Amino acid sequence: MQTIEELNEIMTKPSSRFIQDIEKIHGDIIILGIGGKMGPSMAKLAKRAIDAANINKRIIGVSRFSSGKLKEELESCGIETITADLLNDNELQALPEAENIIFMAGKKFGTMGNEHQTWAMNTYLPGRVAEKFSHSNIVVFSSGNIYPFADITKAGCTEETPVDPVGDYAQSCLGRERLFTYFAKQNHTPVLLFRLNYAIDMQYGVLLEIAKQVYQERPVDLTTGHVNVIWQGDANEYAIRSLLHCNTDPAVLNITGPETISVRWLAEEFGKYFGKEVSFTNIEAPNALLNNASKAHQLFGYPSVTLRQMIEWTANWLRHGGEMVDKPTHFQERQGAF
């Protein structure tokens, strides 16, 4: 895999289990905040599954569409689009009703010095959306950042682990969950809280960041020495299928891959691919932000793309000068400063 076209083909190809589940989801699907890193591929994946199942269901993407050609790109794939600023209440209220909502709107990077906007997007807006779509099933994108750091020798935080967010971003994500939970109970709205970390695409993500350091012969910082990752296509599929598991007592799912992965091991594997000597700084902390997604794997099956495959794809992508998105994950951040 070396081109955007090949990447999109692989990432938006629906599995047979997804096609079976898309038939069980009644009604249309609106993706709020479709303009982010995951939204476009999620919409295309859902549309391909609908076409494969030969059913009649609309996918509608909502975003400001303030730059680029994403609106035209989505519409060319049969995805309807609506241009709206969700923080503008008139525009929010003008959106059509739908039986299913994927809520992806949010703000992470640039929080420092602009905390008020992060809280508005991540906590105020969710309350308005929950009121607007009180009769819909709502899958709410959240984050593993709301958990405490977990002992690297254990299996990571489960959905039952008490939350302990560090910093404004993580605290506002918990605020998002609390607002959706309040309105779920108040209005009997079926909700699922989708706690994701970290989705991988060839253009960005934890694996690419580590691979670039090795390829450019820069030392790899081991302080945050362990991570979780999941192929973005699998995360997208899980998000849509989660519409079947929403509950008025909100369901919670951790979404990531099955491994707790050593950053040192990842760097050394990339070193083998590139024929590079790997150097390191610092030593591994005894804890990290780690999620246990076994509950999601029980519901949906294991991810279709393995860690080894992601490593190989990432190495080839980097070697052949594949296109990259300059959106670092900051997975090393331990003070919640984004």
Q: Specify the 3-state DSSP secondary structure of 15.
A: coil
152 assigned to some structural domain: yes
What is the CA 131 to chain-centroid distance, rounded?
24
338 assigned to some structural domain: no
The closest alpha carbon to 310, from 93, 7, 5, 3, belongs to: 7
Q: Looking at residue 185, which CATH number applies to its domain?
A: 3.40.50.720
How big, in percent rounded to 5, are the helix, strand and coil portions of the chain?
A: 40, 15, 40
Q: Whole-angstrom Cα distance, residue 283 to residue 111?
A: 28
Domain hosting 247: range is 4-200+232-256+290-303
Instruction: Return the pLDDT at 114.
Output: 83
Model pTM score: 0.94
Spatial contact of 230 and 199, defined as CB atoms under 8 Å apart: yes
Q: What is the mean pLDDT of each run of 10 residues along the chain (338 residues)?
A: 89 96 97 95 97 96 90 96 96 97 87 86 96 98 95 95 94 97 97 96 93 96 96 98 98 97 97 96 95 97 97 95 83 75
265 assigned to some structural domain: no
Instruction: Return the pLDDT at 337.
Output: 66
Instruction: Return the pLDDT at 95.
Output: 98
272 assigned to some structural domain: no
Backbone angles phi, psi at 74, to 5 degrees: -65, -45
193 assigned to some structural domain: yes
Instruction: Return the pLDDT at 67.
Output: 74
Model pLDDT for residues 262-279, shown as the tens digit of each residue: 999 999 999 999 999 999
The count of structural domains within the chain is 1
Spatial contact of 229 and 170, defined as CB atoms under 8 Å apart: no
Spatial contact of 170 and 123, defined as CB atoms under 8 Å apart: no
264 assigned to some structural domain: no
The closest alpha carbon to 287, from 227, 329, 338, belongs to: 227
What is the CA 117 to chain-centroid distance, rounded?
21
Instruction: Return the pLDDT at 121.
Output: 94
310 assigned to some structural domain: no
326 assigned to some structural domain: no
Instruction: Return the pLDDT at 92.
Output: 97
Model pLDDT for residues 218-238, shown as the tens digit of each residue: 999 999 999 999 999 999 999
